[in-house]
Amino acid sequence: MHKALLLIVIPLLSYGFWLSDAFKGIAAGVSIFLFGMLSLEQGFKAFTGGVLERILQKTTDTSWKSFGFGFLSATLMQSSGLVSILTVSFLSAGLLDLVAGIGIIFGSNLGTTTGAWLIAGLGLKVNIATYAMPLLVFGVLCIFQKGKQLKGIGYILTGLGFLLLGIHYMKDSFEHFESTVNLANYAMPGVKGLLIYTAIGIIATIIMQSSHATMLLTITAVSVHQITYDNALALVIGANIGTTVTAIIASFGANIQGKRLAGSHLLINLFTGIFVLIFIKELGIAVDVISANLGIAASDNAMKLATFHSLFNLVGIIIFFPFINQQVMLLEKIFIEKRPNIFQPKYLGSSAMDFPETVVESVRLESIHLYENAIHIILRTFGLYKSDLQTDVSLKQLIEQNNAPIEYDIDASYEKRIKGIYSAIIAFISQAGFTWQMTQSSKLSWLREANKHLVEAIKDTKHLQKNWLRFRASSNQATINEYNKIAYQIALHIQKIENFRHEIESNELPLLSLDTLKATIRNDDVQMNRAIETLIRERKITPETGSSLINDSAYMRSIKKNLLKAAETLFLHSATGNVEQQLALNDTEINDVIQTVDAK
Amino acid sequence: MKIEKLLHKLNAFFDTDKYKKRQHIEDLKKILLKLKKKERKITHALQQTDDESLREHYQTELKIIRAQRIKGIEVLQQLKERKKTEYNLF
């Protein structure tokens, strides 16, 4: 909720609590109910990440299956909002297409109406608080367990318990409310009443973020004759439109597909609402007929309201479900996908595919393009540019001068600079096929590995960035110095790789320079760990900071190693002389050199 | 004796294997020279800088170059000895 709105709501609620105990009870009931919803959501989250995705893929390959999935999941979760949020996120992740997404929304619209039946049929007739207690006890017991799934079950049980308890509180308070204030006095007949109460339903659902809560209030209020049946119908219509706001809010963080789905949810519920408002009399008659056939008493407005809720959503499905594809076309016109400023591959033309040699060379050049982007991201993370590597100003000074924590968005940069090119390289290698000689195949496979190393280096940088930002703002100078050292050593390594590239061009024994870079990585790691141990021993840093530094120096080592492996494949492409290879040191020889440096 | 020497020279000229070995030794000498120059350059750079990290880097680089040079000199000696033994056989 917006902070300004909170400033208005809190005093208003406080005034209400002071005025009436019954109002306090109703508000508490709504809060407990909403808390139950949150707990339920938390519980279902424990089962996402594998199982849910697999089920989703199998159960949404046709529109009817999607509809069934939406119906079942909304019935089980008792929240169309949660189902639509999950659908928006799955759609954003590319696990679903828009047609399947809309199918789920239709299903969840109908599935959520079972909640009204539960409230009207069970909630108001039985003392449901007695069911709530054991659920809460078992739920909390499960929450205290260590297993993720048991915890999830615990949250689900607790959520259900709170839902029932919330209903109980509201029912009780409404009964007290009845004796003091009669909301029926505010009843509005005719079209005016219909429109005003629809608007109230929309606003109430947006504020409470739950159509269930509005439904619950409406059903309990109508059952104790606090509001008229006609006004309650309008509230239900409003709740159905208001519930789409949850998905709209969720879609702010989603991609264009998620936004389209949220738009579709709003369109379906809004037009169904308008249709039902126009034909409200006819629908009222239909509800009476169906209720009579179901054996619901004519005076049982609560159950009739539940029937109306289901019928209302069913009408929407009958009208709009056959036109899913047309809706998709309309939504694609309304929500036009903006082509983000993404770096495109430069060298992977279809003509390069004609000869094995051109394929290998194109992939190599494109991978170098990726390398340039990767080092740009890594350097920017530490507040540097590639041009800084060539200036006379020392890198150390440049890093130290950047005192303010620099929040460089690695994720956004990855999407912009890496993902498009990386995907294109992988697709190009796959398309090229492996019908040629083994030499080309193995070269392509090496290049694929080099690209993987670059992506790994960026991932490691992202891990490192978290503590780099945190500890650079530390008041402990020793900590700041160590983190600056990490950044400096990475920048220095990139600079040395750039020198290595020039050595290849001028044939200045590049293969032998690789040995130095390999040895430096190991030596820096040894020195860094030793320095951290000393700082802990001398109590200049806490052991907690020390452990973070050790982890981050491991990331540093991994970044350097990955960059070097990629550089080796990408730049040392032409065969180096046999003699140079003969003088290159193996791992044991490099280790021996490190030990002598170390002993010194 | 003169004919024998001439035959040996002709043999060496037409023997590609021997030519390759000689070329190998020449290449090795060139690389060792380049390494020596590089070592001097790094030593100079080491003397010029006060930056601790850079000094460490240069020191490691020097150790590596020395190890590579030692390895190269050993290979060169082996090649020369092999060449000598082959020459004595004739």
DSSP A74-109: HHHHT-HHHHHHHHHHHHHTTSS-HHHHHHHHHHHH
B28 min Cα distance to partner chain A (Å): 6
What residues contact A363, with CB distance under 8 A and at least 6 apart? Answer: A347, A348, A425, A428, A429, A444, A447
The alpha carbon dihedral of A344, A346, A351, A355 has a sign of negative
Distance (Å, whole) CA A405 – CA A483: 12
What confidence score (pLDDT) does residue A422 get? 92
Tell me how far the alpha carbon of residue A256 is from its chain's centroid: 14
pLDDT score, position A74: 82
Residue B6: in which H helix or E strand, if any? helix B2-14
Residue B40 with chain A: CB contacts under 8 Å: none
Write out chain A residues lying below 8 Å of B71, CB-based.
582-583, 585, 589
The contacts of residue B9 (CB under 8 Å, 6+ apart) are none
- Chain B nearest CA to A597, separation (Å): 7
pLDDT on residue A392: 67
Q: Given pLDDT bands bounded at 50, 70 and 90, which one contains residue A24?
A: confident
Task: Look at residue A117 in the predicted model and tell me its pLDDT.
Answer: 79
Kindly report the backbone phi and psi dihedral angles of residue A392, in degrees, each rounded to the nearest multiple of 5, phi listed first: -80, -20
Residues of A within an 8 Å Cβ radius of B: 394, 396, 485, 488-489, 492, 496, 508-509, 512, 515-516, 519-520, 523-524, 527, 577-580, 582-585, 589-590, 592-594, 596-597, 600
Residue A405 has pLDDT above 60, yes or no: no
Mean pLDDT across A344-371: 82
Give the per-residue pLDDT at A437.
54
- Type of residue at A353: M
Residue B12 at interface with chain A, using a CB cutoff of 8 Å = no
Q: From residue A382, how far is each of A256, A343, A475, A547 by CA, in Å?
A: 32, 22, 19, 21
- All residues of chain B having their beta carbon less than 8 Å from the beta carbon of residue A497 are none
**pLDDT tens-digit series, residues A47-74:** 766 666 677 677 887 888 888 888 888 8
Please, is A270 exposed, middle or buried when counting C-beta atoms within 10 Å of its C-beta (0-12, 13-18, 19+)?
Answer: middle
Mutate to test the interface with A, among B34, B63, B70, B78 (most CBs of A within 10 A): B63
pLDDT in tens, A158-187: 988 887 788 778 767 766 665 565 555 666
Measured distance CA(A30)–CA(A38) in Å, rounded: 12
* C-beta atoms of A593 and B60 within 8 A: yes
**Region A540-562 average pLDDT:** 93
More confident residue, A411 or A45: A411
Within an 8 Å CB–CB cutoff, is residue B57 touching chain A? yes
B72 touching A (Cβ < 8 Å) = yes
Lowest mean pLDDT among A108-112, A224-228, A573-577: A573-577
Give pLDDT tens digits for A432-459.
765 555 556 778 888 999 999 999 999 9
CA–CA min distance B89, chain A (Å): 26
B55: contact with A, CB 8 A cutoff: no
> What's the pLDDT score for residue A89?
67
How far is the C-alpha of A540 from the C-alpha of A353, rounded, in Å? 59
**Which residue reads 């990475």 in tokens?**
A490
Whose tokens are 């490190």? That residue is A594
| Cβ pair B64:A596 closer than 8 A | no
Who has greater pLDDT, A217 or A570? A570
Q: Judge: A582–B51 Cβ closer than 8 Å, yes or no.
A: no
Which residues have a Cβ under 8 Å from the Cβ of B44 and sit 6 or more positions away?
none
Percent with pLDDT over 90 in chain A? 17
Nearest 5 degrees, angle CA A173-CA A175-CA A179? Answer: 110
- Plot region of A516 (φ>0 → left; ψ -120 to 50 → alpha; else → beta): alpha
pLDDT of A138:
94
- Are the Cβ atoms of A519 and B57 closer than 8 angstroms? no
Percent over 70 (pLDDT), chain A: 86
Q: Over the stretch B23-75, which tens digit does the pLDDT of each residue have?
A: 888 888 988 998 999 899 999 999 988 888 788 888 888 999 999 999 999 98
Burial grade of B17 (CB within 10 A; 0-12, 13-18, 19 or more): exposed
Between helix A301-320 and helix A211-223 the angle, nearest 10°, is: 140
- Poorest-pLDDT segment among A273-287, A299-313, A341-355, A494-508: A341-355
Residue A354 in this model has a pLDDT that exceeds 80:
no
Instruction: Give the model confidence (pLDDT) of A532-546 as tens digits.
Output: 999 999 999 999 999
Average pLDDT over chain A, rounded to an integer = 82
* Helix A420-432 vs helix A356-381: crossing angle, to nearest 10: 160
Tokens for A431? Answer: 């398309």
Cα angle: A573, vertex A492, A510; to 5 degrees: 30
Chain A residues touching B34 at Cβ < 8 A: 508-509
Query: Residue A81: pLDDT above 80?
Result: no
Q: pLDDT tens for residues A356-367?
A: 777 888 888 899
Question: For position A416, what pLDDT does the model report?
Answer: 87
pLDDT for A126 equals 59
Please tell me if residue B28 touches chain A, with a CB cutoff of 8 Å: yes
Q: Is B68 on the interface with A (CB under 8 A)?
A: yes
Per-residue confidence (pLDDT) for residue A222, from 0 to 100: 81
Higher per-residue confidence, A131 vs A246:
A131
DSSP A128: T
- Higher per-residue pLDDT: A178 or A122: A122
Mean pLDDT of all residues in A79-92: 71
Distance of CA A51 to the CA centre of its chain: 17
d(CA A261, CA B51): 58
For residues A105 and A66, give the distance between their C-alpha atoms in angstroms, rounded to a whole number.
Answer: 9
Partner A contacted by B53 (CB < 8 A): yes
Q: Which of B11, B57, B85, B21 is nearest to A578 (CA)?
A: B21
The predicted pLDDT at position A558 comes to 95
What are the structure tokens assigned to A128, written together? 């449901």
